[in-house]
Amino acid sequence: MKQFTIPFTYRSPLINAIKEIRKQNDKMKKDFTPTLLDFGPVQFYLARHFGFCYGVENAIEIAFKTIDENPDKNIFLLSEMIHNPSVNKDLRDRGVQFLQDTYGNAIISLDTLTKEDIVLIPAFGTTIEIENKLLAIGIPIQKYNTTCPFVEKVWNRSEQIAKKNYTVIIHGKPTHEETRATFSHASAKTPSIVINDMSDAIVLSKFILDDSDEAEFYKIFSGKISEGFNLKKDLSRIGVVNQTTMLASDTQSIADFLKQAMIKKYALTEDTILDRFADTRDTLCYATNDNQSAVYGLLETQADFAIVVGGYNSSNTSHLVELCEQKLTTYFIDHSDRITSREKITHFNFHEKKQIDSSHFLPSKNQVRILMTSGASCPDAIVEKTIEKLAGYFITEEQYQNVINHWING
């Protein structure tokens, strides 16, 4: 896989050494057991896969290269480059200005831009409408387009089934930048609808089976369907794609559920199912799959609690938290600074969308066992800082360095 040039401050010699050793010993990526960092009184179990993915490193490389090559130009980002506060702060500190917030609300009007300005399209991609506005101004968007290739893969899959007259159903968070972009690209080719979860799929299936209550359908799915969506016609042939960072198991369950609704509605058989339900296969990216599979493997280890590191508005990270919470107490933090003492940690409750403080989170016992992973937009350096801070409550700096040097130097 391509090696990207990104700021060294995002790298971690320790994490890099661990990942390289695991890669060499498991080239087919079939071993999802965690890596043990043993400091004696505290043990860390690191997920087999975590941290920056291809799309994130690609976006970061393009962004910082653009800054370095254009010192005298105004450089703008459509919204957050990725969902990580440290990276976005670094970009702001280098002079990059953000045009929108993560919900698409304007911070700086596009009307104020000129063709001399540079606009970076983030890893999530953007809508066709915004692309056209930038092109009309004369801004060359492709040169500074950091859209993840796995997001573009979903767009391509949507276009493929659109050509066969399927309606595209997008499993994703309706307000997420990626889902908004995918909806824009899909709806330009075919009727499209966004569903957030299985409860939405259950409601949608009722309209598939009985399309008589049109008014109720348009009320429930207002803002989530393409313009001119026709209930009686546009749910007769469907295909499911997804926001690339959703839980794989959720997307599969939703697709299977809607497939059964189509079989029931049209009395389909295995030979005729493609007449009504497209074979879209899995549109999750490799990193999402790997990171989620690694968490399943991580959770086979008995531990006192888990820590998940990443941006609080990161979809893929929140799903890792969701998986861990099913098994044990989990703390979701975006930086090691959230750990302020042995007694206190400030972490994020993504269900209620707020930060909370927990006291005495480190148990009083001879050996504490901690599970750790991070999202695809989280720098490895932040993970190492978190490990170092926690280990510092149990051992000396010299003891810590001895273990670290063992991994780095072999």
Q: Which residues are catalytic?
A: 178
Pairing verdict, β 42-46 and 368-374: parallel
Pairing verdict, β 118-120 and 75-77: parallel
290: tokens are: 């790997």
Taking the alpha carbons at both ends of the chain, their separation in whole angstroms is 24
Q: Are the C-beta atoms of 110 and 127 separated by less than 8 Å?
A: no
352 Cβ neighbours under 8 A, 6+ residues apart: none
Q: Are the C-beta atoms of 347 and 216 separated by less than 8 Å?
A: no
CA-wise closest residue to 380 among 1, 87, 178 = 87
- Compute the distance between CA of residue 329 and CA of residue 341 in angstroms, rounded to an integer: 18
1: tokens are: 């896989």
- Compute the distance between CA of residue 36 and CA of residue 393 in angstroms, rounded to an integer: 18
